[in-house]
């Protein structure tokens, strides 16, 4: 398989279905609905027209509050194809050199940045300077310093910065977070996150340190980092980590193949996680509390998500994640809606602080204190 996209699609497509257990009535499932009376739509330009942008675009066909009105790409032939697909006029099409001109385009409210990781920072700064809201794929940047600069630039410009954490709006995820926050699992003791697949094409940008900022951790391991935070309900305060590299030709210096990492939280809860580009079928979250547990497998794939707790199966009905994400983000930007699990720039920055600490722990072999400053 050539990428994380293929992996996530395949592992979730083959997951078997198990019906809901009688008596389980998740309270958070209906929270994705949006006010019918508010017909204002978020007009979005997609920046970077690769495979994931195509997935987002297909999902947005079913959105009620968001639509594609512009595109930004360095490939003229792609722009022509997208114009035909979405009836986008020439005046709403830009390349990477001239997209600052969106400042004067009333047809575009927000730009969704879906480009290689190292480009997120400079592109975000330019979009913010143009006065447009920013939706940025994760990881938001290649380090915490750049992430902080993105947050501050958007604050200064008075625009939203949202990170593409689609799982924050997913029904099974939200139900387990609700159960934890309402005390149904008791005091949280332990979280396990397994995130990995065997990456294909060795020439792809995800294995290029300059473009990716790392390897598996930036691409797939961030799911376990972010998942630990919303599942435990706290931000970790220390980390230890160990790297394993079996193929130094494919995974060059600065491109991690496999990292095991452990985190500690203020309450005393601990986490044990794995990020890898060399093992398939790793997409699992497990949360343990003194009164119960919750488990998800697949936990972050494109769906359907499979989940169960000490009370029985959940397996809530699947809605395409990106459809829900974009409608909910429209609600945040247009209506001031507050999501159950944050998706703002501060949320993305905290993940980058943790990733920086993980890389430091790998390098030094020491326990690293995590400081959110």
- Count the residues in the chain: 373
Please pick, among 52, 112, 165, 223, the residue that the annotation labels catalytic.
223
| Radius of gyration of the chain, Cα coordinates, nearest whole angstrom | 20
From 132, 138, 284, 350, the catalytic residue: 138
Residue pair 26/316 in contact by the 8 Å Cβ criterion: yes
- β-pairing verdict for 188-196 and 110-113: unpaired
Bridge partners (DSSP) listed for residue 288: 190, 293
In 3D, which of 328, 143, 370, 142 has the Cα closest to residue 240?
370
Q: Is 258 within 8 Å of 245 (Cβ atoms)? A: yes
Pairing mode, if any, of strands 282-289 and 161-163?
unpaired
Neighbours of 221 (CB within 10 A): 28
Catalytic residue list contains 223: yes
**Residue 14 in 3-state DSSP?**
coil
Beta-sheet pairing, 307-309 with 293-296: antiparallel
Q: Are 152 and 315 in contact (CB under 8 A)?
A: no
Secondary structure tally for the chain: helices H, strands E: 11, 15
Contact 105/92 with Cβ under 8 angstroms?
yes
Strand ranges, E, within the chain: 42-47, 66-72, 93-94, 110-113, 133-136, 161-163, 188-196, 238-244, 258-264, 270-276, 282-289, 293-296, 307-309, 312-313, 368-369
Residues in a beta bridge with 196: 276, 282
* Positions marked active-site: 138, 223
């Amino acid at each position: 398989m050539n990428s994380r996209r293929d992996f996530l699609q395949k592992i979730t497509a083959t997951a078997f279905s198990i019906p809901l257990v009688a008596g389980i009535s998740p309270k958070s499932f209906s929270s994705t609905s949006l006010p019918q009376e508010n017909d204002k739509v978020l007009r979005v330009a997609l920046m970077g027209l690769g495979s994931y942008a195509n997935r987002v675009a297909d999902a947005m066909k079913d959105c009620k509050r968001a639509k594609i009105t512009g595109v930004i790409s360095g490939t003229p032939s792609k722009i022509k194809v997208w114009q035909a697909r979405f009836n986008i006029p020439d005046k709403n099409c830009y390349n990477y050199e001239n997209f600052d001109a969106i400042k004067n385009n009333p047809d575009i409210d927000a730009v969704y940045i879906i480009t290689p990781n190292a480009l997120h920072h400079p592109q975000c700064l330019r979009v913010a300077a143009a006065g447009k809201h920013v939706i940025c794929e994760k990881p938001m940047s290649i380090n915490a310093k750049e992430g902080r600069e993105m947050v501050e630039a958007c604050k200064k410009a008075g625009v939203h910065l949202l990170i593409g954490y689609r799982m924050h709006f997913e029904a099974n995820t939200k139900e387990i977070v609700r159960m934890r926050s309402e005390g149904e699992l008791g005091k949280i003791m332990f979280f396990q996150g397994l995130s990995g697949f065997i990456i294909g094409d060795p020439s792809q940008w995800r294995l290029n340190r300059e473009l990716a900022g790392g390897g598996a951790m930036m691409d797939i391991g961030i799911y376990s980092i972010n998942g630990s935070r919303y599942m435990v309900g706290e931000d970790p305060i220390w980390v230890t980590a160990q790297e394993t590299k079996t193929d130094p030709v494919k995974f060059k210096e600065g491109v991690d193949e496999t990292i095991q990492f452990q985190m500690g939280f203020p309450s005393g809860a601990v986490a044990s996680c794995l990020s890898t580009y060399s093992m398939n079928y790793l997409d699992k979250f497990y949360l343990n509390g003194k009164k119960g547990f919750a488990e998800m497998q697949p936990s972050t794939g494109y769906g359907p998500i499979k989940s169960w707790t000490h009370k029985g199966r959940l397996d809530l009905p699947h809605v395409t994640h990106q459809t829900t994400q974009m409608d909910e983000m429209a609600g945040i930007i247009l209506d001031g809606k507050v999501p159950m699990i944050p998706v703002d720039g501060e949320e993305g920055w905290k993940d980058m602080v943790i990733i920086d600490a993980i890389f430091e722990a790998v390098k030094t072999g020491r326990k690293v204190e995590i400081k959110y400053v």
